[in-house]
Amino acid sequence: LGVPKSELPQWTCIAEHESSYRTNVVGPTNSNGSNDYGIFQINNYYWCQPSNGRFSYNECKLSCDALLTDNISNSVTCARKIKSQQGWTAWSTWKYCSGSLPSIDSCF
């Protein structure tokens, strides 16, 4: 998926706090009428096209439904684009990650 090993703790923390690692989550409606999708809770106003046809900038050029599967390749690709443009603080839950990150040592 192209994620540097050094960034895995950050992505793990975001996934934990955004969706509890669940890939099928559609978040509650935001104040602007948008929703957030998938393991990284990616917003449909800017990043993906919702199935209801509502306007989206669709910067990741994909359907929001593509972010709701157990195959997280679309979610990772889109999330990396978001991070490259806006940094980690694009996720409101980053405040839970910026001081203490989970250890991934046992994964390797």
| Burial (Cβ within 10 Å: 0-12, 13-18, ≥19) of residue 96 | middle
Catalytic residue list contains 105: no
Catalytic one among 18, 65, 70, 105?
18
Catalytic residue list contains 36: yes
Phi and psi torsions of 77, nearest 5°? -60, -45
Q: How large is the angle between the packed helices 8-19 and 73-86, nearest 10 degrees? A: 110
Catalytic one among 36, 59, 70, 105?
36
The residues annotated as belonging to the active site are: 18, 36
